[in-house]
């Protein structure tokens, strides 16, 4: 009888920001992490003009290459005649694991056959359900999610998944240590070593050093051209020396937040902010900042509803002049938030702009024309569009200027949310895995191993874990 082997397949996420989708297989047991979509607004077919089809939405995503063509993961009724094995036909005992709630890590979870378990932290589930209520969640089939808890091993047959907490804010972030009888494979998820959650990632590092990890999949988002140029003035990977410290001239999370607070504190009139409305800790931070400077923090109805569901607190709400908020036959979520909030009117804001801090999403950016923009400040804090690689970014900047607001952000100048290159290199060198797979990056080849080998896997190719190496299946004797 042929010996059971651990197999590794990477479907996407090597040369993209996000979208890391990997399968680890042992016999008939299979673990998949994650089900995200790479952030690529320039090539987004569903740009707000092209409508999704009702019966063919999963097939269309497969045809477009948006959704990885993974056997045994989707229902036959959703696949139709698409040449892929369905979940019903599969012999695999499969489970899907999600590190955190960013779309580049979980955008495709709704396509998975409902009988296949999907593990997410319960806080992430609250936010995702609220997003679904307001029409901003993932496209999804009806399903239940399973709870993911720190340091509690989940067994999928003979495969063990050990969730390591890496960020205790918001929805909670995790890394996954996946162990089979042949060895250990680890996925860092988003890796940051310069914020208040840095101790959790140092703990992750120390745990992995003890485990003698065979294969390390490591986030190296910051190894892109812009950051390399800013920090090293060269694209040479050998210039990246390991260090746990924040590079000179770059900001920590705390310094970044302090800089934003200074802008809010100094704003002479109305302050408008654009944040990623999955980030509940950030939403609460804006509420706290507003209180600290004697302002009321006010949200759009959709963001307010998510905040209300997560914190069970009544937020202040301002209703922009868009149909989905002003429609006569209001959806249940909108009725609920309007019944459990404090409404703030445009007249009240105009009468005393200095008394308010208003959340404004890009979808409702034309509302800036009615809001008092003179001496007002627009704080771009991680909301979409994120940067100038998104065609919508130039439009956002233009509209902010036309409305008379001063635009401000530190995100691109000297702050980066993922680990800085020297810190990621330090993390990797300390763990010193036998095989390093840099990923979640435009330039993964720049993250070099200390003593092990760097592997940039061929997508959809089957590798076998043998003697602490990943060997192409066809080369196995």
pLDDT of residue 412: 57
Burial of 126: CB neighbours in 10 Å, binned 0-12, 13-18, 19+: middle
HSE-CB at 233 with a 13 A cutoff on CA atoms is 0
Which region holds residue 170: left if phi is over 0, alpha if psi is between -120 and 50, else beta?
A: left
Closest C-alpha to 356, from 369, 341, 371: 371
Q: 226-267: per-residue pLDDT in tens?
A: 888 888 888 999 999 999 999 888 888 888 888 889 999 999
Q: In Å, what is the CA distance from 410 to each residue of 170, 219, 262, 387?
A: 21, 22, 12, 12
Q: Residue 235 and residue 199: Cα distance in Å, rounded? A: 29
Instruction: Quote the crossing angle between the two packed helices 332-339 and 122-133, to the nearest 10°.
Output: 110
Q: Which domains does the chain have, with CATH numbers?
A: 6-227+417-475 (3.60.15.10), 253-408 (3.40.50.10710)
Q: Residue 144 and residue 114: Cα distance in Å, rounded? A: 8
Closest C-alpha to 164, from 207, 117, 220: 207
Q: 288-332: per-residue pLDDT in tens?
A: 999 999 999 999 999 999 999 999 999 999 999 999 999 999 999
Q: 324-371: per-residue pLDDT in tens?
A: 999 999 999 999 999 999 999 999 999 999 999 999 999 999 999 999
Highest mean pLDDT among 42-46, 202-206, 384-388: 202-206
pLDDT of residue 83: 93
Query: Which backbone phi and psi does 88 adopt, to 5 degrees?
Result: -65, -30
- What DSSP string runs through 12-65? E-SSSSS--EEEEEETTEEEEE-------GGG-STTTTSPPPSSSHHHHHHHTT
For strand 342-343 and strand 316-317, is the pairing parallel, antiparallel, or unpaired? parallel
Rounded to the nearest 10°, the torsion over CA 428, 430, 434, 436 is: 0
Q: 82-115: per-residue pLDDT in tens?
A: 999 999 999 999 999 999 999 999 999 999 999 9
pLDDT of residue 413: 66
Instruction: Quote the crossing angle between the two packed helices 332-339 and 301-311, to the nearest 10°.
Output: 70
Q: 1-14: per-residue pLDDT in tens?
A: 568 999 999 999 99
């Amino acid at each position: 009888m042929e010996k059971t082997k651990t197999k590794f397949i990477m479907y996407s996420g090597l040369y993209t920001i996000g979208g890391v989708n990997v399968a680890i297989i042992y016999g008939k047991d299979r673990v998949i992490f994650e089900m995200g979509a790479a952030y690529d607004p320039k090539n987004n077919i569903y740009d707000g003009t092209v409508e999704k089809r009702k019966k063919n939405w999963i097939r269309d995503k497969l045809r477009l290459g948006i959704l990885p063509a993974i056997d045994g993961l989707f229902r036959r009724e959703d696949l139709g005649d698409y040449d892929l094995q369905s979940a019903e036909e599969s012999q695999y005992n499969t489970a899907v694991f999600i590190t955190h709630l960013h779309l580049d890590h979980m955008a495709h979870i709704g396509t998975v056959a409902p009988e296949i378990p999907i593990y997410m932290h319960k806080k992430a589930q609250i936010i995702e359900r609220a997003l679904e209520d307001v029409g901003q969640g993932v496209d999804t089939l009806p399903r239940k999610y399973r709870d993911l808890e720190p340091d509690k091993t989940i067994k999928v047959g003979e495969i063990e998944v050990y969730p390591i907490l890496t960020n205790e804010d918001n929805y909670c972030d995790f890394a996954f240590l996946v162990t089979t009888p042949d060895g250990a494979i680890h996925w860092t998820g988003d890796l940051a070593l310069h914020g208040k959650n840095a101790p959790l990632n140092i703990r992750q590092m120390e745990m992995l050093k003890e485990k003698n990890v065979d294969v390390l999949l490591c986030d190296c988002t910051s190894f892109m051209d812009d950051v390399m140029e800013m920090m090293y003035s060269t694209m040479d990977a050998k210039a990246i020396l390991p260090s746990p410290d924040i590079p000179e001239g770059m900001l920590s999370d705390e310094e970044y937040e302090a800089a934003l607070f200074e802008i809010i504190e100094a704003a002479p009139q109305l302050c408008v902010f654009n944040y990623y409305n999955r980030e509940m800790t950030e939403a609460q931070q804006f509420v706290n900042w507003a209180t600290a400077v004697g302002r009321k923090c006010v949200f759009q109805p959709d963001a307010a509803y998510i905040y209300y569901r997560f914190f069970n607190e009544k937020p202040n709400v301002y209703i922009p002049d868009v149909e989905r908020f002003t429609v006569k036959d209001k959806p249940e979520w909108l009725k609920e938030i309007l019944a459990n909030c404090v409404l703030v009117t445009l007249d009240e804001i105009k009468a005393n702009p200095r008394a308010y801090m208003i959340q404004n999403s890009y979808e409702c950016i034309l509302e800036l024309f009615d809001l008092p923009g003179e001496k007002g400040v627009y704080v771009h804090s991680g909301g979409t569009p994120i940067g100038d690689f998104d065609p919508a970014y130039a439009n956002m900047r233009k509209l902010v200027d036309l409305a008379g607001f001063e635009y401000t952000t530190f995100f691109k100048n000297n702050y980066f949310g993922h680990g800085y290159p020297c810190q990621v290199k330090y993390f990797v060198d300390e763990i010193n895995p036998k095989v390093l797979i840099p990923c979640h990056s435009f330039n993964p080849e720049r993250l070099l191993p200390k003593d092990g080998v760097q592997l940039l896997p061929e997508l959809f190719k089957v590798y076998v874990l043998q003697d602490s190496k990943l060997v192409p299946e066809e080369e196995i004797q």
